[in-house]
Amino acid sequence: MLHGGWPRRGPVSTAAQNACQLLVVTAVLERERTPDRNEGLERHIKFPGATMLVVGNVIGSGIFLTSGLMLSHLSTGGELIFLWVAGGLLSLCGGFTYAELGAMYPRSGGLYIYLAEAYGSRIGFMFGWASLVVILTGQVAGVAVGFAEYLSYFIPGVSPSRVLWTIGLGKFGALSVSAGQLVAVASIAILAYLNMLNLHGSRNTAVYLTAFKIIALIALCVFAFSATHHLAQVRWKLDLHGPHLAVLALAMIPVLYSYEGWSYLAFAASEVQEPGKNLPRSLLAGIGTVTILYVVVNLAYLSALPVESLRGVERVGEAAATASAGPVGAAVVSLTALVSTLGGNAALIFVAARVFFAMSRQGALFRSFGVLHSIRGTPDRAVLLVCGWSALLVLTGSYEQLYTFVTFAVILFSVAGGAAVFVLRRSQKDRLRPYRAFGYPWVPAAFVLTMGGLAVNTLIEAPVQSLMGLGLVAIGWPLYTVMRRRAVESAAGSSSSMADPPN
């Protein structure tokens, strides 16, 4: 009996309060196990937009810079094309693998969710922690600096090499700030605003910029194929024996980095319409589109200039365009790279914010970052977290060194994500799988084993940096305990406040 008010404390009411607290705490600890939550986000991304997000996240500046440096280690132009095709096929293997995971867990977080489901929430948190510190934010910072570099082709005064002022830091040295750094920070700020404007606007920004760079790459190929004809002299022989096979494996590393980003669509899975169908379709269509573009662009390079003229050239895209169309061609390539980096960052900020939004909703970060704007429905605070930290990395110039440190960890997380398909096939046999990985177990195994080999090679080539990067990631192990304790105390406090109204 309430008798017009709250009951007095007694054995029954105390037991009920404790039971209530236990239920709330358990819900917090197991929240990430709840399937298919949309978390308040609108499912506004259709198949074409999702496919463009995949393409936009992958195509950056790598396609304009890597091929000439690769050729300095390769025997023939045929080997160059072979490696770009192989990189695309390996990415497709990864796409088939992650498509099953994305269809199983169509909510924000992507790899963070898969790792938590397969290996426990602590491992998922460690990926999220590393992504916040450098993996995702470091990529945003690096791409922004690349944008400033290409903008300086048209406006030399904003070059990253033009130092504006130097700040003394005592025994820690000095901090130099360049015009390029300020441009990079400004580009991040603009993209942050567009990502917070509304869900459709942030998506459309990435889609339109991606469409532009696809058209520009096609135009570059048309120029090269119509103006020059060195492709007929290319030798297609492959040397797959002896020490040269190790050379090919080494040359494969920049190819894989140029394909990196195809899995990021899954970070925003809670906004994809019909995710069980569209996530797999968009992943595979996007990777296929990128592979075709990359192969055709490299054929255009080989058509524009003889192989010997391309060897060791860093700005291979600019060299090929200049040979095909003169200074106008070089300007077109620089403009394409400019838009490519901006579009890549627009897509990257969009998906990266969803990782930290998901972590916050599960109590793994401060819950304020898991709040949606009441009118626009955008994860504004998560966007500001991504862009604010990325801007700080730009200004301190630490992003490049930090990302070098975590390269080994990034590959390990990718391997663990691919292997999660095998783990979850055993631990969650009865879970609904709208899509099952094509060619299982051979296709996922090919992805996991190849990426595992790359991880071993990275550890051998850069043991000190790899171990330092693992140390940075390992900080997430005790930090997870702290964050979970905060989540439990917060949940218990909320339960207590409901059970104990003010007198």
- DSSP secondary structure letters along 204-272: HHHHHHHHHHHHHHHHHHHHHHHH---GGG-------STHHHHHHHHHHHHHHHHHTTGGGGGGBGGGB
**Contact assessment for residue 445 and residue 451, using Cβ atoms and an 8 Å cutoff:** no
User: Does 233 have pLDDT greater than 80?
Assistant: no
pLDDT confidence of residue 336: 87
Cα distance between residue 85 and residue 95, in whole Å: 15
Q: Average the pLDDT over 410-429 and give the result.
A: 94
Asked if pLDDT for residue 25 goes beyond 80, the answer is: no
Helix, strand, or coil here: 59?
A: coil
Burial 407-437, CB ≥16 within 10 A → b, else e:
bbbbbbbbbbbbbbbbebbeeeeeeebbbeb
Residue 189, pLDDT score: 96
Structure tokens at 366: 């401060």
pLDDT one-digit tens code per residue, 448-468: 999 998 888 888 878 888 898
Q: Taking 70 as the threshold, does the pLDDT of residue 61 lie above it?
A: yes
Neighbours of 466 (CB within 10 A): 22
Average model confidence (pLDDT) across the chain:
83
**pLDDT attached to residue 119:** 96
Q: What is the DSSP letter of 1?
A: -
Least confident of 20-34, 57-71, 260-274, 313-327: 20-34
Report the percent of the chain where pLDDT is more than 70.
Answer: 87
Give φ, ψ of 434 to 5 degrees: -60, -25
Give Cα separations from 111 to 9, 125, 457 (angstroms): 46, 10, 23
pLDDT score for 439: 93
Weakest-pLDDT range from 4-13, 92-101, 315-324, 430-439: 4-13
**Of the given ranges (11-25, 97-111, 200-214, 428-442), which has the lowest mean pLDDT?**
11-25
- Please determine, for residue 149, whether its predicted confidence score (pLDDT) is greater than 90: no
pLDDT at 14 (0 to 100): 46
Residues facing residue 167 across a β-bridge: 175
- Stretch among 27-41, 87-101, 162-176, 202-216 having the lowest mean pLDDT: 27-41
Whether residue 442 is predicted with pLDDT greater than 90 in this model: the reply is yes
3 state SS for 272-286: ECCHHHHHHHHHHHH
- Which pLDDT score is estimated for 180? 92
Instruction: Please report which helix (H) or strand (E) contains residue 164, including its range.
Output: strand 163-168
Torsion of the alpha carbons at 350, 356, 362 and 365, rounded to the nearest 10:
-160
The mean per-residue pLDDT over the stretch 230-242 comes to 74
In this predicted structure, what is the pLDDT of residue 196?
A: 87
pLDDT of res. 126: 94
**Dist CA 256 CA 374 (whole Å):** 40
Q: Given this model, what pLDDT does residue 39 score?
A: 64
Helices 316-361 and 62-71, axial angle in degrees (round to 10): 130
Closest among 374, 349, 425, 370 to 101, alpha carbons compared: 425
Lowest mean pLDDT among 51-60, 404-413, 492-501: 492-501
For residue range 257-279, what is the model confidence (pLDDT) as tens digits? 889 889 888 888 888 999 889 99
Closest C-alpha among 332, 325, 257, 370 to residue 28: 370
Please tell me the predicted confidence (pLDDT) of residue 503.
42
Tell me the pLDDT band of 301, cut-offs 50, 70 and 90.
very high
18 falls in which pLDDT band (50, 70, 90)?
A: very low
CA distances 189 to 138, 185, 390, 403, Å, are 15, 6, 10, 21
Task: Evaluate if residue 413 carries a pLDDT over 80.
Answer: yes
- Residues 62-105: tens digit of each pLDDT: 888 889 989 988 888 899 999 999 999 999 999 999 999 999 99
Q: Look up the pTM and report it.
A: 0.82
| 324 pLDDT more than 50 | yes
**pLDDT at residue 29 is higher than 90:** no
Q: How far apart are the first and last CA of the chain?
A: 18
Comparing 5-9, 73-77, 398-402, 404-408, which segment has the lowest mean pLDDT?
A: 5-9
SS (H, E, C) 72-98: CCCCCHHHHHHHHHHHHHHHHHHHHHH
Taking only Cα atoms into account, the Rg of the chain, rounded to an integer number of angstroms, comes to 25
Q: State the pLDDT at residue 51.
A: 94
Q: What is the pLDDT of residue 86?
A: 93
Q: Phi-psi category of 199—alpha, beta or left, where left has phi over 0 and alpha has psi -120 to 50?
A: alpha
Structural domains in the chain, sorted by start: 38-485 (1.20.1740.10)
CA distance 265 to 56: 10
Indicate the burial class of 3 (C-beta count within 10 angstroms; 0-12, 13-18, 19 or more): exposed
